[in-house]
């Protein structure tokens, strides 16, 4: 593999995320969707406007299927160039991996100590950050080598992790998301995730996509689209029956894993120990 060749993409990836987020914040409130006005991320003229932004409820169409290690208990998933960066869970089975997007081949892996349970993973400024479930500490890795560079503490449980290009954003199984400073790991702010005023708990794997936070809701076939400023849910994605055949052989093999190709505007989802990763297109619920 050529992880080195992807380092340029890494820089572009981070800069682009930060740039987009800055634009979004600078013109917040300009959305032209009346029913979403108070919560919506802004639409910038001539910028990319995802078709799904106006969906209150989305369903899906599978565009293509890609192989996934059915032994990988997926707790975190993101894309970097042509590779998945995946965090797997389980005591004695947790790892962080570089995985070839097309073939599913694990090209680089770093295992966690057997007493820690891997959770969410995010990338920022040439590093990966990985949570552990009840370990109350996360790991920092060099992105190219997966060499461990350090650790950071947090309170409570660690579930999902993503980045908006400035902060690390983590879930902990509750209805709250914490925004962490990636240098000091202090909590900069928190948002309470609400749908029409009601809390949305069990927020799990996360992905920052086009100015919103997509979140798996544990043990459901739903992804919620969250406004990062207010915490309000702007849309729900229904992924019923996406798992092939008669369903998962284990009730814990739930939908968990969202990744986004920023350059190609492609959305991917998978689940714990699923044999496939699905590229999907979101369709508006009629």
Binding interface with Ca ion (CB under 5 A)? 77-78, 207, 258
Q: How far is the CB of 38 from Ca ion (least distance, A)?
A: 27
Closest residue to Ca ion using C-beta atoms: 207
Least gap, CB of 259 to Ca ion (angstroms):
5
Q: Is the dihedral of CA 112, 7, 63, 17 positive or negative?
A: positive
CA dist 131 and 120 (Å) reads 5
Identify which of residues 154 and 214 has a Cβ nearer to Ca ion in the complex.
214
Considering the complex, state which of residue 39 and residue 119 has its C-beta at the smaller distance from Ca ion.
119
Return the residue matching tokens 């975190």.
76
Q: Which residues pair with 80 in a beta bridge?
A: 83
Q: Which is nearer to Ca ion, 43 or 122 (CB)?
A: 122
Are the beta carbons of 266 and 66 closer than 8 angstroms?
no
CB 217 within 8 A of CB 223: yes
Q: Which is nearer to Ca ion, 78 or 203 (CB)?
A: 78
Choice between 43 and 223, CB closer to Ca ion: 223
Q: How far is the CB of 122 from Ca ion (least distance, A)?
A: 8
Nearer to Ca ion, 236 or 258 (CB): 258
Q: Is the dihedral of CA 285, 206, 123, 250 positive or negative?
A: negative
Distance of closest approach, residue 175 Cβ to Ca ion, in angstroms: 19
Contact 44, 232 (CB under 8 A): no
Taking the complex as a whole, the smallest distance from the CB of residue 206 to Ca ion amounts, in Å, to 6
CA 196/CA 31 separation, integer angstroms: 19
CB 160 within 8 A of CB 120: yes
Minimum CB separation from Ca ion for residue 155, in Å?
22
CB contact at 8 A, 273 and 279: no
């Amino acid at each position: 593999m050529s992880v080195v060749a992807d380092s340029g993409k890494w820089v572009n990836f981070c800069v682009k995320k930060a740039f987009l987020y800055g634009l979004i914040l600078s013109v917040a409130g300009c959305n032209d969707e009346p029913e979403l006005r108070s919560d919506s991320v802004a639409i910038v003229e001539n910028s990319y406007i995802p078709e799904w932004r106006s969906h209150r409820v989305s369903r899906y169409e599978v565009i293509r299927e890609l192989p996934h290690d059915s032994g990988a208990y997926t707790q975190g998933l993101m894309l970097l160039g042509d590779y998945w960066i995946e965090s797997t869970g389980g005591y004695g089975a947790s790892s962080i991996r570089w995985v070839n997007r097309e073939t599913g081949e694990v090209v680089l892996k770093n295992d966690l100590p057997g007493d820690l349970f891997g959770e969410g993973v995010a990338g920022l400024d040439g590093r990966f950050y990985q949570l552990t479930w009840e370990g109350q500490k996360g790991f920092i890795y060099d992105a190219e080598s997966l060499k461990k560079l350090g650790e950071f503490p947090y309170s409570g449980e660690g579930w999902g992790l993503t980045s908006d290009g400035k902060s690390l954003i983590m879930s902990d199984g509750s209805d709250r998301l914490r925004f962490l400073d990636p240098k000091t790991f202090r909590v900069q702010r928190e948002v309470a995730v609400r749908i029409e005023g009601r809390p949305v708990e069990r927020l799990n794997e996360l992905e920052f996509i086009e100015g919103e936070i997509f979140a798996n809701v544990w043990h459901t076939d739903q992804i919620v689209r969250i406004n990062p400023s207010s915490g309000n849910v702007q849309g729900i994605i229904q992924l019923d029956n996406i798992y092939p055949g008669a369903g998962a052989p284990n009730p814990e093999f739930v939908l968990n894993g969202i990744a986004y190709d920023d350059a190609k505007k492609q959305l991917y989802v998978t689940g714990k120990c699923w044999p496939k990763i699905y590229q999907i297109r979101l369709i508006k619920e009629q």
